[in-house]
Amino acid sequence: MYKFPMSGRHRTGRTTLACAYLTACSFPLSALAGSPSTLPDLNITASHGAPVAFAGVPETVITRAEIERLQATSVLSLLENRAGINMVNQGGPGKITTASIWGMSGSQTLVLIDGVRIGSLTAGAAYLENLPVALIDHIDIIKGPRSGQYGADAMGGVIQIFTRKGKKGIQPSFSIAGGSNKTFETSANVSGGNGPFDYSIGASHQGTGGFNAYTDTTGSPFAVNQPDNDGYRNNSASGRLNYTGDNGARLGVHWLGTNAFTDYDGSSFAGNQQRSRQQNFGLDGALMKIGIWQLRASAGRNIERQTQYYDGKYVSEYNSRQDSFSLANDFSIGQGLLTLGADRLNDHVSSSVNYDVTSRHNNGVFAQYATQIADLSIQTALRHDSNSQFGSANTGSVDLSWQLNPSLALTGGYGTGFHVPSFNFLYYPGGYANPDLRPEHSRTARLGFNWQNNNGWTSSLTAFRTRTRDLIASSASTNFVPYNINQAQSIGAEWQLGWHNADWALNSSATWISAVDRETGVSIPRQPKWSGRVDVDRKLGAWRMGVTVRGQTATHESTFSQINNGFATADLRLSYAYSQNWHIEAKLSNVLDKQYQTAYDYHQAGRTVLFTLRYGL
């Protein structure tokens, strides 16, 4: 049996068991395109910030236009049941929300905000529940290992969230919304640009009375039942200033801050309320290109403070700070781009409990090369990490795209990854830690195709297999002290189909995954075998209407008797533009009032409605 990492957040009396399982482009885009109709966009997430155009990696991009079309109010609602992605939420808005990719765990997925890592160092995972959708420009999701570029934690893939940016002129936006469960939301943003400068500044508020997030059905003597509504509120703000000079020179600074408070069910020891504060800072830039060479650099800091209370009285706190620094040299060599770089990551924790070790650091050096040989596009990466706790690790990847014709490309790749244990697993006091844990390691192979035509249709299919060794687990037989087991395996496939024209938008996806412990043959907890999603929108003059249908098959916790039943839900949305920039919107979520859960005994919202007034250029 397996155990989720101790959260370092709100611990209920119940033990949850499961698997621990900006650039100006100086690189010739035409060099990596088979024809103008297949020219890929720059993908700085898949290339560690290098300005490389490469379409050979499995990717999902969620734009600002799609965020507004879907009337999304959370990152959860944007990502759930998309291709290759599994979301787990423990009780609605503001409650623990993690994303896993291709059968890996949430701790094996790297999450970035504008290139800066986020996540709890004590729990060892990135939590997405407090990220404000109103301040997001777009989300880039890269599936498959990226440790060759980013080092630890990118075993399953990378989710990068970009905050809103400025454009030429002045562009204000504003929204106010209200609906079920005493929900109230508002946001304001102003962005613009003049000459070489652009800027964006925004703020948002979310608040809801919530619903009863948790009901124990296990009869455990450690369970806490508090049949009340578990509310949530979140105040967030962001800012960005960029300078873009001649011949690729640039300099940018960005910041995102959140201050959230949520209620949950918990004991006087674990607390039943939590305040979460996050500060994310970043500075990045590049010198002007000199001949074939350009130098890029970045620095960032992410601070996460989590304080638990019981009915307003202080109980505990768990704080994380990550400082990152990166230096990269880009060399345009023939039809390719070579990148040589180095980075450093400093981790530090402080808390109300005493950890034997409170800091560590990691030094990494990496090389990457992308080129085009006839109709074959190649991107390779190689990295060496030296960690103050675990010693050395070597990782790498190769990604291929063969353009058979202007509409169809075959893709494939192979990559390795690793994940370092959390501070809780290593040093949590009281006999529940194991300082001798080894890092987890993975190997992933994939094969697929990308297809598009001139009538607005696009499609992709990717099959993959990942084998993981030294997976971290725990069981009752070891008093829940974590240990390394032999191997786990994830085999699956994801499929995406889309169609767009002036009046219609269709996005659909499906995922099949078989994730098992290879030693026992037991399937990994909280991983549905099948999942899928369809978003359809239609524009009729000033009106726009849409529907989202999504669902997944059953999952289980590590006890196997605790089953999260499969489900399907539907959302309806309607928007009316009564002037050029003003919109009135309505969204009816979970139309059939389906009762379901993605974590055992943690409820999801029933039927809700939200009305929004929005202004934006």
Give all domains of the chain, ordered by start, each with its CATH number.
29-616 (2.40.170.20)
pLDDT digits 0-9 by tens, 252-279: 999 999 999 999 998 888 899 999 999 9
The pLDDT of residue 477: 65
Q: Is 482 helix (H, G, I), strand (E, B) or coil?
A: coil
Q: Is 117 helix (H, G, I), strand (E, B) or coil?
A: strand
Percent over 90 (pLDDT), the chain = 79
The pLDDT of residue 18: 34
The pLDDT of residue 42: 62
pLDDT digits 0-9 by tens, 32-60: 333 333 334 567 888 888 887 777 899 99
Confidence of residue 115 (pLDDT cuts 50, 70, 90): very high
> Which tokens hold the place of 458?
């696009």
**Nearest-CA neighbor of 347 among 201, 490, 152?**
152
Is residue 154's pLDDT more than 70? yes
Confidence of residue 476 (pLDDT cuts 50, 70, 90): low
Q: Is 435 helix (H, G, I), strand (E, B) or coil?
A: coil
Q: Return the higher-pLDDT residue of 448 and 481.
A: 448
Q: If you search the block for the tokens 């060496």, which residue do you land on?
A: 384
pLDDT digits 0-9 by tens, 222-235: 788 888 999 999 99
> What contacts 415, CB < 8 A, 6 or more positions away?
144, 145, 146, 147, 148, 395, 396, 397, 398, 399, 443, 444
The pLDDT of residue 561: 85
- End-to-end CA distance of the chain, in Å? 53
- Output phi, psi for 342, to 5 deg: -145, 150
> What contacts 339, CB < 8 A, 6 or more positions away?
47, 48, 50, 328, 329, 330, 331, 366, 367, 368, 369
Is residue 29's pLDDT more than 90? no
Q: Return the higher-pLDDT residue of 16 and 239.
A: 239
Residue 593's Cβ-count burial label (10 Å; 0-12, 13-18, 19+) is exposed
**Nearest-CA neighbor of 175 among 61, 72, 63?**
72
The pLDDT of residue 30: 29
How far, CA to CA in Å, does 416 sit from each of 148, 152, 239? 7, 11, 36
Residue 505 contacts residue 33 (beta carbons within 8 Å): no
Q: If you search the block for the tokens 């765990």, which residue do you land on?
A: 105
pTM for the full model?
0.92
The pLDDT of residue 383: 97
Is residue 397's pLDDT more than 60? yes
- Output phi, psi for 610, to 5 deg: -135, 130
**Nearest-CA neighbor of 109 among 129, 128, 94?**
128
Confidence of residue 353 (pLDDT cuts 50, 70, 90): very high
Separation between Cα atoms, residue 338 and residue 371, nearest integer Å: 9
The pLDDT of residue 351: 95
**Nearest-CA neighbor of 420 among 160, 127, 125?**
125
> Which tokens hold the place of 401?
């795209």
Residue 279's Cβ-count burial label (10 Å; 0-12, 13-18, 19+) is middle
Confidence of residue 28 (pLDDT cuts 50, 70, 90): very low
Residue 37's Cβ-count burial label (10 Å; 0-12, 13-18, 19+) is exposed
Q: Return the higher-pLDDT residue of 246 and 542.
A: 542
The pLDDT of residue 617: 73
Beta bridge partners of 493: 463, 512
Separation between Cα atoms, residue 110 and residue 513, nearest integer Å: 20
Lowest-pLDDT range of 36-40, 154-158, 595-599? 36-40
The pLDDT of residue 54: 74
Lowest-pLDDT range of 28-37, 374-383, 499-508? 28-37
